[in-house]
Amino acid sequence: MKKDLYPPVYYAEYLELNKILNAQNLKSDEYHDHAHDEMLFIIIHQTYELWFKQILFELDDIVRIFSGDFVDEKNLSVALARIKRVTEIQKIMIEQLHVLETMTPLDFLDFRDYLVPASGFQSFQFRLIENKLGLKKEDRLKYNSIDYDNTLKGEHKEQVTSVNVSLFNLVQDWLERIPFIKTDNFDFWQKYREAVDKLLLQDRAIIENNKSLSDEKRKSQLESFERTKESFLSLFDGNYHNSLIEKGEKRLSFKATLSALFINLYRDEPILFTPFQFLTAIVEMDEQFTIWRYRHAIMVHRMIGAKIGTGGSSGQHYLMSTVEKHRVFVDLFNLSTYLIPRSELPSLPDDLLTELGFYYDKIKR
């Protein structure tokens, strides 16, 4: 069908503005007690839900890309673009709180009681986002001593509990499939361990030979050094790594962790640069959700102080507790613990460098 044969489209009809602009029904008006700022409250939260819908739209496509047995570079670039879009949306979501904060606590009190027991905690779309990212039910904080999904009505509860594929698990599977780490004539992790041991010996010597340190300070730094040394053990001992997973101290599998670290260490190699950008974008997305939770908790504290929330939760205290607890990709943040200077990285053999580069580059040389 030629474009000039398409029927004309009217802006308001295309966007269905009739539905959108007539979807703000003030509870205060229903009770004949008009509260001016309730309009702002509704529009802000409706806007959040629209952004949540777009985030879910992007996440679903990323999940589709990673659901196969192979992710080529082109599709990885598409997934990267999707996540970058999500992070830009998140920044807008955080900025929106400034608009909401033009409403004072007294303004909120004008209509707050009409909302009970509705609560942002009942945002099934946000719970969907968390589940699709990979937040496990057992890692969630209880809401008024009950599971989060028990606050949702039938169809919404079914949607959030029916998520059986998460971005975390798909990314873990993808990382586990990445080659390069060990070849017939090169054991990267043996070389890396030698480099780490060398640097750790240097660090210990610096502490022991630092004459400006008091005995107490030296003891404290040596204890910290031993903890750092122990943390490296999880890179070189799969059984130890798995024991940390069982304790809940780690989540990303041993093999996936090694691949993610290798990508971070050798990010300058052409074939690893897009995977590095992708992992970095995931970290930023998780960080932006953490910032949003924190800013939301601060805003709620400002609005209701130490009161309970409209949904009956402990309000600001509950929200602040989720800031750290509900992060999903913490293991990717922790990779920085294991980085060593580029100058100390093991030199990769020529055949592996060829695999990591672009072949036409090698031919031109």
CATH architecture, domain 3-364: Up-down Bundle (1.20)
What per-residue confidence (pLDDT) applies to 365?
Answer: 40
What per-residue confidence (pLDDT) applies to 321?
Answer: 85
pLDDT tens-digit map of 281-326: 999 999 999 999 999 999 998 888 866 655 545 567 878 888 888 9
Q: What is the pTM of this model?
A: 0.89
pLDDT tens-digit map of 70-111: 888 889 999 999 999 999 999 999 999 999 999 999 999 999
φ/ψ of 183, rounded to 5, equals -120, 180
What per-residue confidence (pLDDT) applies to 364?
Answer: 41
CA distances in angstroms from 201 to 196, 198, 207, 276, 279, listed in the order given:
9, 5, 10, 29, 31
Across the chain, which has 365 residues, the per-10-residue mean pLDDT values are 80 97 97 97 97 98 93 91 98 96 95 90 93 91 76 90 94 88 73 92 92 91 90 92 95 95 92 94 97 92 73 67 91 94 86 67 42
Distance CA(187)–CA(26), nearest Å, equals 66
CA distances in angstroms from 364 to 57, 269, 333, 357, 361, listed in the order given:
43, 17, 38, 12, 5
Question: Cα 76 to chain center, whole Å?
Answer: 18
Identify whether 349 is preceded by a cis peptide bond (ω within 30 of 0).
no
What per-residue confidence (pLDDT) applies to 120?
Answer: 86
Helix extents (H) in the chain? 11-14, 17-21, 27-30, 38-66, 73-100, 105-109, 124-133, 154-161, 167-177, 188-209, 215-236, 238-246, 254-265, 270-304, 316-325, 330-333, 350-356, 359-364
What per-residue confidence (pLDDT) applies to 73?
Answer: 81
What per-residue confidence (pLDDT) applies to 2?
Answer: 66
b vs e for 85-112, b when ≥16 Cβ sit within 10 Å of the residue's Cβ?
A: ebbebbeebbebbeebeebeeebbebbb
Long-range contacts of 164-168 (CB under 8 A, 24+ apart): 165/63, 165/67, 165/132, 166/131, 166/132, 166/133, 166/134, 167/59, 167/62, 167/63, 167/66, 167/132, 167/133, 167/134, 167/282, 168/133, 168/134, 168/251, 168/328, 168/329
